[in-house]
Amino acid sequence: MPQTSHHVVIAVFPDVDLLDVTGPAEVFALANRESPDGARYRVSLAGPGPAGRAVATSAGVRVVTDLAFADVGTAVDTLLVPGAVDPDPDGPRPRIDPVVVDWVRATAPHAGRIASVCVGAHLLAAAGLLDGRTATTHWSTADRLAADHPEVTVDPDPIFVRSGRVWTGAGISACLDLALALVAEDHGEDLALAVARQLVVYLKRQGGQSQFSVPISRPATSRRDIDELRRFIADHLTADLPAAVLAARMSLSERHFARVFTRETGTTPAAYVEALRVEAARRLLETTDQPLDRVARATGLRSVETLHRAFRRQLGTSPAAYRQRFRTGV
């Protein structure tokens, strides 16, 4: 029996990120095509001004609205809010359009669920929809979101976060992961997997997959010697790397080294080394069939027991479960 229509309304406005809009729309369209029991997503683009207005996106490509904000009404099953950024000397600055914020605030109570893509989380926060919730956004604006909205618990790491009926997605391409998760919630994992196969992407990355790797997530520090040490650690993961050895390499006392390293990187030396080793293990689990004991030895974790403990601490899952989910080989 065909499913009832599910109305997805995507907000569009000048300089909106193009993929934030078209990525989810493509996922929902493919869900309609791949569904054996008749999934029926109906996607509408809504924006300020009259219906039929052409809106220029950040890529210069224009999209045409189906509805004016004022005409959306209350029949909204999923409200999807993408984002836009303005250049700033301190990094990308999310655009907070008061017209969009007011419309999101007024429409959200009538929506079955609300989701933001990338820096669209800043619009949800400005509308008061993230108060008391955990949320994510693009890693480059996470600190700004946390500073501007201290009532929001910002986690910059996950691909997406669900908090009740409010979902927030991370950096731009994560819109696909978010939309696939919404399809899975509506119609089950099998349909989401069928869509993912058509898109040639992973079904989901939220179970331990971060927005970025450890080196990317730790920007350059104010000390060249710390940055050189970080490169040394990455190149020598199988070596013995306790804090005492790293401190000696920098000709510092262990206590002083620990203070300096933590201040500069935001994490302890031991946690940093473990995170790099887990990341290396993730890559082996994703791309090889090496047994767990070899993965552990090749990444400096040394034993299967240590590998398991590190995965539980860092990713909240087991190495075997991670491989089953994210193995990329045939």
Domain with CATH 1.10.10.60 in the chain: 214-326
> Which residues lie below 8 Å from residue 197, measured CB to CB, with a gap of 6+?
none
What CATH class has 6-199? alpha beta
Is residue 202 predicted with pLDDT exceeding 60?
no
Strands (E), 29-117: 41-47, 54-56, 62-64, 67-68, 76-81, 85-86, 93-94, 111-116
Fold of 214-326: Arc Repressor Mutant, subunit A (1.10.10)
> How high is the pLDDT of residue 129?
98
Q: What is the pTM of this model?
A: 0.67
- Catalytic: which of 63, 118, 124, 176? 118
User: Is 175 designated active site?
Assistant: no
Domain with CATH 3.40.50.880 in the chain: 6-199
Q: Each residue of 248-302: pLDDT tens digit?
A: 999 999 999 999 999 988 899 999 999 999 988 988 887 788 999 999 999 999 9
- CA angle in degrees (0–180, nearest 5) for 11-13-16: 90
